[in-house]
Amino acid sequence: MKTLSPLNSSNPCLLKTHFLKVPIFNPIFKFKPLPHNTHHARIAKVPSFTINSKLKSSQDINNKGKKSVSQKIVLSETSPPPLAVDKDDINGGSGNESVPVSSKKKGGVSGLAKKLSKKVLQILSNLSLAIGEMFTIAALMALGTVIEQGEAPDFYFKNYPEDHPVLGFFTWRWVLTLGFDHMFTSPVFIGMLALLGASLMACTYTTQIPLVKVSRRWAFLHSAETIRKQEFSDTLTRASIEDVGTLLMGAGYEVFLKGPCLYAFQGLAGRLAPIGVHISLLLIMVGGTLSAAGSFKGSVTVPQGLNFVVGDVLGPTGFLSTPTEAFNTEIHVNRFYMDYFESGEVSQFHTDLSLLDMDGKEVMRKTISVNDPLRYGGITIYQTDWSISALQILKDNEGPYNLAMAPLQINGDKKLFGTFLPVGDINSPDVKGISMLARDLQSIVLYDKEGKFAGVRRPNSKLPINIDGSEIVILDAIGSSGLDLKTDPGVPTVYAGFGALMLTTCISYLSHSQIWAIQDGTSVIIGGKTNRAKMEFPEEMNRLLDKVPEIVESSSSQQVDTITSG
Amino acid sequence: MVKLVDTLLLGSSARASRFESEWRHGIFYSKRLLGHLIFMIFSTLEHILTHISFSVVSIVISTHLITLLVNEILGFHDLSKNGMIISFFCITGLLITRWILSGHLPFSDLYESLIFLSWGFSIFHIVFCFKKHKNDLSAIIAPSVIFTQGFATSGVLTEIHQSAILVPALQSHWLMMHVSMMIFGYAALLCGSLLSVGILVITFGEVIQILGKSNNLYFLNESFSFVEIQYMNRNERNNVLQKTFFSSSRNYYRSQFIQQLDRWSYRIISLGFLFLTIGILSGAVWANEAWGSYWNWDPKETWAFITWTIFAIYLHTRKNTKFESVNSSIAASLGFLIIWICYLGINLLGIGLHSYGSFTSN
């Protein structure tokens, strides 16, 4: 009992704690000093939960001579209904008193490990640490967008030189040693993410899961004073608590009535949903790690009519990547074509693919386009790019000749491809010829050997054009399809995490309101609080209480008048 | 080049029989005529709606400014409320017209998303107008936001903005959900952040004023009690009011106002955070469908994640009840800057996979 002396001298301690740093102080539960109860409750019966907090109290409670005073303050509301609570579940279940005792029984090392893990858990679930971590991660990400990623070291030597460093100290040494050139896979960033994950796990375990147990209990308040101290409180003269209860039930609250006391709550899901948020974040992190370590990626540009084997194109991304049987599939590009708007712009591009297995039998055939990938055996094939590979022409009715087209650099996103048909002496250094340019597969623009515009032809029209004495017929423009292939084992986990996150974030918008009431003679004292919708709560309560009927006692009989009281 | 092709096309239809070709000509031209007519009707409608909404919002803002400077003029309250409702309908009409005109949802580029943003603001303003029966709170913030927003779209960018076509990567059903959720999220978060900036301005303005007045202990007492008054609940505050000096009642009302701002800001930011979460996640799923991986550390994605993180910090700083409003307001004000960087800054730079909305590209 001596060890709990700070709690004995309740009032000064109570005032002080408002201004002290209380890292994991759950503000909902009132700090009620009940020293005797707590001590007994801890050992024998039913403590509600334990809060880890550091009390710097002027009273000396160091009977064991510990340096940092870390007391476990066990709170319990007055007269809790008996609940069976397994002591192991309470965080750091055994208090400071029992730990050394039990550890002495088990042996020094395991006791030390237990104490260490508890200390680590305590540090990790600190809220300020978590906020600091989140802030650091945000700052690192911002830095990652400012500094160019993935360039050769030369780039950083030039842009962050040592002789006049950016911001006075930031040179390429900082960039390269800390791994800022590949920020999002650098050890610093991944380390911070891992730390945040650990904090998430610690916080979920220590503060949120006990919350589930506590929130489910109903706890009555027996003193009118305490009720008056709530955020919202009111007194109804001449009312009955049963009427209040009925009204609350009508408004959607769950009401519990015991004698003169009443407790009602609503929106409990809103208090429990943040646990779901944290768990789904952990799920996403796990899925992301799986994706990063175990997937295959690759991309290829295939001209129309050619094949490639899946396994040749894909490369692993991490140490968990294992190839599957589906990697032996051969993919044949049957046709590549594009759709156009009326104005001539490209509206969509499509590739007709057939998948053949090792025996040459076709197992699947699908036309893919952007936003519409092909999925087979865990592999997904996306349409991401296109180009023109060759132009098939007839020259003076000879041919057909395939002229390879090369991409030409112009500004902007528009592509331009060109090819060249030499005319005359091929071996002379000054060879001239016919140039053909194409922006897409629709039409080809031809220029003669002086560079003057000669005409436009559509590949399907088969109309000849006469340039410099030769007759050219454009038979076909052969396009090639840019495909991205990928396998990703982490996707189902990540999608599950996404769905859960969306759902739980929605639910955590709800507000958890609690109302207590006491029948004091003929008047009812009501108090309540809510954790989120603090603006609407008083108005809602006022509206509700306006509906409570006022009991008017006449000498002859009791009449209940429904005068709105207020 | 296209015209040549067109003549070629028409020429090829001449191969059919004469009657058929004439018939085809007739249909072709009348369809075009009808199309032109509809186009013209809708585009003039769009013009009109833009100008109406813009002018209504300007009028509302000016009346608010006047009521601030000159004391409460009766009847202006209703005027501003009705004005906002009118502009809301105008902007809705504008968006629907653009939708019909271009055949796709109005999300394809920066101009359209800015109009959608102003629509989001007007929705939030109206919701809060109707929820709160005296609307001096939201009436200050939301119209000014809409004004800056509407001005940016109507005035700064080109007057006639032709609706552009969608590039292949944007032709997806996810476009609707991702972009609308993101923009609603931005609208809510911006409103909430402005309220928090308001809290900071009032709190620090007051403290600076008090400390600057004199070293009189009287004033110091006032400043301390001002800060602490905020953290008492209603009942305690009533007791304090009865016991303290009369001049502290000014602090009382001011702290009451700050508390209201704080709570409204919390609620709006929670809602905005919800929309932002859904927007980011639907964007990730869409990216997986279109580009092959759900997270590419694209600048826009990264900055959206940074915004999300900052507002998660905001929500967590409120757990610690000591100084909850000041700390969280600082976080929310930072969030205000970051949203603008994320939304406009990245687009202006024109880098990354999200470069559709940049000024440099078409």
**SS3 call for A331:** strand
Q: How far is B73 from chain A (nearest CA, A)?
A: 27
pLDDT of A138 reads 92
Q: Which residues, including other chains, have CB under 8 Å from residue A299's CB and lie 6 or more apart?
A: A313, A384, A482, A483, A484, A485
Residue of A383 and A25 predicted with greater confidence: A383
Nearest residue to A85 (alpha-carbon basis) of A210, A218, A220: A210
pLDDT per residue as tens digits for the range A243-278: 888 888 888 888 888 888 888 888 888 888 888 899
At residue A205, does pLDDT exceed 80? yes
**For residue B250, pLDDT beyond 50:** yes
- Could A534 and B4 be called an inter-chain contact, meaning their C-beta atoms sit closer than 8 Å? no
Q: What is the mean pLDDT of residues A492-509?
A: 92
Residue B360: per-residue pLDDT: 39
Concatenate the DSSP letters of all residues of A366-394 into one string.
Answer: EEEETTB-EEETTEEEEEEEEEEEEEEEE
Contact with chain B for residue A226, Cβ under 8 A: no
Q: According to the model, what pLDDT value does residue A283 have? A: 93
Contacts of residue A274 in chain B, CB cutoff 8 Å? none
For A233-243, what is each residue's pLDDT tens digit? Answer: 888 888 888 88
Dump pLDDT digits (tens) for A298-342: 889 989 888 888 888 888 887 877 888 888 888 898 888 888 887
Contact A371 B263 (CB under 8 A): no
A130 and B172 in contact by Cβ < 8 A? no
Q: Is A412 on the interface with B (CB under 8 A)?
A: yes
**Which of B15, B32, B289 to substitute to test the interface with A, most A CBs within 10 Å?**
B289
| Confidence (pLDDT) at A504 | 93
CA angle A200, A202, A203 (to 5 degrees): 65
The answer to whether A231 contacts B361, with C-beta atoms less than 8 Å apart, is no
Q: What is the pLDDT of residue A158?
A: 80
- Rounded to whole angstroms, the Cα distance separating A432 from A401 reads 18
Q: Which of A194-198, A393-397, B85-89 has the highest mean pLDDT?
A: A194-198
B308 pLDDT exceeds 90? yes
Are A138 and B362 a contacting pair at CB < 8 A?
no
In terms of Cα–Cα distance, which of A340, A338, A308, A311 is closest to A323?
A311
Taking an 8 Å cut-off on Cβ atoms, the answer to whether B321 and A27 are in contact is yes
> CB–CB of B168 and A384 under 8 A?
no
Average pLDDT (A169-173) is 76
Query: Cβ–Cβ of B281/A382 closer than 8 Å?
Result: no
Q: How far is A494 from chain B (nearest CA, A)?
A: 9
pLDDT at position A414 over 70? yes
Most confident of A380-394, A548-562, B136-150, B235-249: A380-394
A405/chain B closest Cα distance in angstroms: 20
Alpha carbon of A535: minimum distance to chain B alpha carbons (Å): 6
pLDDT for the residue numbered B311 = 93
CB of B323 within 8 A of CB of A22? no
User: In the Cβ-directed half-sphere of B244, how many Cα atoms lie within 13 Å?
Assistant: 22
Rounded Cα distance, A421 and A403, in Å: 8
Which among A184, A229, A346 has the least Cβ separation from residue B168?
A346
Residue of B nearest to A184 (CA): B297
Confidence check: pLDDT of A426 > 70: yes
Report CB contact under 8 Å: B302, A412. no
B90-131 residue pLDDT tens: 778 777 877 777 766 666 667 777 778 878 887 887 777 676
Q: Are B319 and A22 in contact (CB under 8 A)?
A: no
Answer yes or no: is pLDDT of B226 > 70.
no
> Per-residue pLDDT averaged across B267-280, rounded?
92
pLDDT given at position B138: 56
Can you give the residue ranges of every domain in chain B?
Answer: 9-160, 171-223+250-361
Q: Is A509 on the interface with B (CB under 8 A)?
A: yes
Question: A371 phi and psi, to 5 degrees?
Answer: 70, 10
In which order are the strands placed within the sheet that holds A232-236?
A232-236, A523-530, A513-520, A261-266, A254-258
A 60-119: CB under 8 A from B: none
Q: Rounded CA gap, A371 and B168, in Å?
A: 8
Residue A80 has pLDDT above 60, yes or no: no
Residue B51 clears pLDDT 60, i.e. is over it: yes
**A502/B5 CB distance under 8 A:** no
Instruction: Give the Cα separation of B292 and B286 in Å (integer).
Output: 9
Question: How many angstroms separate the CA atoms of A236 and A199, rounded?
Answer: 47
pLDDT of residue A184: 83
Q: Confidence band (pLDDT; 50, 70, 90) for A494?
A: very high
Contacts 24+ apart (CB under 8 A), A210-214: A210/A49, A210/A50, A210/A89, A210/A90, A210/A91, A211/A26, A211/A49, A211/A271, A211/A272, A211/A275, A212/A272, A212/A275, A213/A49, A213/A85, A213/A89, A214/A29, A214/A48, A214/A49
Helix or strand or coil: residue B181? Answer: helix
- Closest B-chain CA to A26: B319
Hey, are the CB atoms on B165 and A443 less than 8 Å from each other?
no
Q: Write down the pLDDT at residue B248.
A: 62
CB nearest A484 (choices: B292, B321, B361): B292
Contact residues on chain B for A456, CB-CB shorter than 8 A: 1, 4-5
Task: Pick the residue of B127, B182, B257, B288 with the most A CBs within 10 A to test the interface with A by mutation.
Answer: B288
With 70 as the cut, is the pLDDT of residue B285 above it? yes
Q: How far is CA A445 from CA A323, A465, A477, B306, in A?
A: 46, 11, 12, 48
Distance between the two ends of chain A, CA-based, in angstroms? 48
Q: What is the arithmetic mean of pLDDT over A442-465?
A: 85
pTM: 0.73
Query: Which run of H or E residues covers position A296?
Result: strand A296-303
In this predicted structure, the answer to whether residue B281 has a pLDDT above a threshold of 90 is yes
Scanning the structure block, which residue is given the tokens 């009390």?
A55
What does the alpha-carbon distance between residue A105 and residue A549 come to, in Å, rounded to a whole number?
63
pLDDT at residue A103 tops 50: no
Calpha distance B237→B175 (Å, rounded): 50
Shortest distance, CA A486 to any CA of chain B (angstroms): 7
A31, A136, A535: which to substitute to probe chain B, counting the most B Cβ within 10 Å? A535
| Cβ <8 Å between B302 and A506 | no
Cβ within 8 Å, pair B171-A370? yes
Of the given ranges (A408-412, A415-419, A471-475), which has the lowest mean pLDDT? A408-412
State yes or no: pLDDT of A387 exceeds 50.
yes
Domains parsed from chain A with CATH numbers:
115-199 (no CATH), 218-267+511-546 (3.30.310.80), 296-423+433-487 (no CATH)
Minimum CA–CA partner of B317 in chain A: A131
Above pLDDT 90, what percent of chain A?
6
SS3 A225: helix
Q: Do B8 and A134 touch (CB under 8 A)?
A: no
The H or E element that residue A348 is part of is strand A346-356
For chain B, say whether A335 makes contact (Cβ under 8 Å): no
Residue of A nearest to B346 (CA): A145
Tell me: pLDDT of B221 over 80. no
Assess: ipTM above 0.85.
no
pLDDT at residue number B216? 52
Q: Between A543 and A166, where is the model more confident?
A: A543
pLDDT above 80 for A486: yes
Task: Name the residue among B235, B281, B309 with its Cβ closest to that of A502.
Answer: B281
The mean-pLDDT minimum among A173-187, A250-264, A350-364 falls in A173-187
Polymer length in residues for chain B: 362
Range name among A180-184, A407-411, A539-543, B246-250 with the lowest pLDDT average: B246-250
**Residue B165 and residue A343: Cβ atoms within 8 Å?**
yes
Which chain A residues are within 8 Å of B302, Cβ to Cβ?
141-142, 144-145
Q: Are strands A70-75 and A49-54 parallel, antiparallel or unpaired?
A: antiparallel
